[in-house]
C-alpha cells in the first residue's frame, strides 16, 4: 500500500485533484467527510461541541450549525483550540477506519490518498509515503473564492491567512501539482502524477 497525503490551500483546486485521482483508481480518505461524520446528530462529537459551545451552535433540527460555529472560532484562537481538541482525535480515528475499509476493498497494493486540508498546519507530513501539494498563486486563490464561493475579498484573504502559507506547504511537498492553468492542464498533470504514484506503489510491493 502507498499512503499519500494530498493538501492545498483553500481555493487551490485540491478537490478537483482528489476527484481525478479517484477516477484513476485511488482510494480516497477525505478528512472533510470524516469531520462531518463525527459530528452527526447523536454522535459523541456533537454532544461534546454542544456542551462546550452551547446549543446556539445547533440548528433547529439538531444538526451542527457549521456557519455559526465557524464564526465563533474563526477569530478566537482559544475557542478554535477547544474545538480542535474535541474534533481532531475523532477525525483521526474515523480516517483510520476509512483507510482500513479502502485497503480491504482494494487490497494491499492500494494507493490510498488522504485528502487533508490542514496537513501542513497539523504537522502530518511524516505520516505519509508521499505528500502532494496542489499549488496556486495566492491572487488566483482569492479570485476563485470570490467567483466560485461568493466570498467577499476580505473574507477570502482572512481565510487564507488562517492557513499555512504557500511557502510552508511547498516545503513539505514531495510532488507539486501546479493548478494555475486550465482544467486540461490539470488533467495532464494529474495523469503524470498518477503514473509516478503507481511506480512508487509497485516499488513498495516489490520491496
Higher pLDDT, 36 or 105: 36
Mean pLDDT of the 56-83 span: 90
Task: Give percent of the chain with pLDDT exceeding 70.
Answer: 100
The cell 484562537 sits on which residue? 77
Q: Which residues contact 96 (CB under 8 A, 6 or more apart)?
A: none
Using DSSP, state whether 55 is helix, strand or coil.
helix
Contact indicator for 121, 10 with CB cutoff of 8 Å? no
Write out pLDDT tens, residues 171-196.
999 999 999 999 999 999 999 999 99
Q: How far apart are CA 142 and CA 136, in angstroms?
A: 10
> Tell me, what's the pLDDT at 207?
63
Mean pLDDT of the 201-205 span: 86
* Closest residue by Cα to residue 186 from 75, 10, 40, 20: 20
Q: Which residues contact 66 (CB under 8 A, 6 or more apart)?
A: none
> Tell me, what's the pLDDT at 158?
86
Asked whether residue 106 carries a pLDDT value surpassing 80, the answer given is: no
Mean pLDDT of the 140-155 span: 90
Asked whether residue 21 carries a pLDDT value surpassing 80, the answer given is: yes
Superfamily of 2-39+98-202 according to CATH: P-loop containing nucleotide triphosphate hydrolases (3.40.50.300)
Q: Which residues contact 138 (CB under 8 A, 6 or more apart)?
A: 9, 160, 166
Q: How far apart are CA 115 and CA 124, in angstroms?
A: 12
Write out pLDDT tens, residues 120-139.
998 999 999 999 999 999 99
Contact indicator for 176, 130 with CB cutoff of 8 Å? no
Amino acid at each position: 500500500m502507498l499512503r499519500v497525503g494530498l493538501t492545498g490551500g483553500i481555493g487551490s483546486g485540491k478537490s478537483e485533484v482528489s476527484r481525478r485521482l479517484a477516477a484513476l483508481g485511488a482510494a480516497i480518505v477525505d478528512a472533510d467527510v470524516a469531520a462531518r461524520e463525527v459530528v452527526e446528530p447523536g454522535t459523541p462529537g456533537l454532544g461534546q461541541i454542544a456542551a462546550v459551545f452551547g446549543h446556539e451552535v445547533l440548528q433547529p433540527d439538531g444538526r451542527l450549525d457549521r456557519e455559526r460555529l465557524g464564526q465563533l472560532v474563526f477569530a478566537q484562537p482559544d475557542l478554535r483550540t477547544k474545538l480542535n481538541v474535541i474534533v481532531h482525535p475523532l477525525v483521526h480515528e474515523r480516517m483510520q477506519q476509512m483507510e482500513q475499509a479502502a485497503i480491504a476493498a482494494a487490497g494491499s497494493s492500494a494507493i490510498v490518498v488522504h485528502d487533508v486540508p490542514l496537513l501542513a498546519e497539523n504537522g502530518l507530513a511524516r505520516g505519509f509515503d508521499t505528500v502532494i501539494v496542489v499549488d496556486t498563486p495566492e491572487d488566483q486563490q482569492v479570485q476563485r473564492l470570490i467567483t466560485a464561493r461568493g466570498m467577499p475579498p476580505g473574507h477570502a484573504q482572512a481565510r487564507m491567512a488562517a492557513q499555512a502559507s504557500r511557502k510552508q506547504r511547498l516545503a513539505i511537498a514531495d510532488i507539486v501539482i501546479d493548478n494555475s492553468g486550465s482544467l486540461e492542464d490539470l488533467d495532464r498533470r494529474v495523469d503524470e502524477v498518477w503514473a509516478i504514484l503507481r511506480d512508487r506503489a509497485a516499488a513498495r510491493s516489490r520491496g
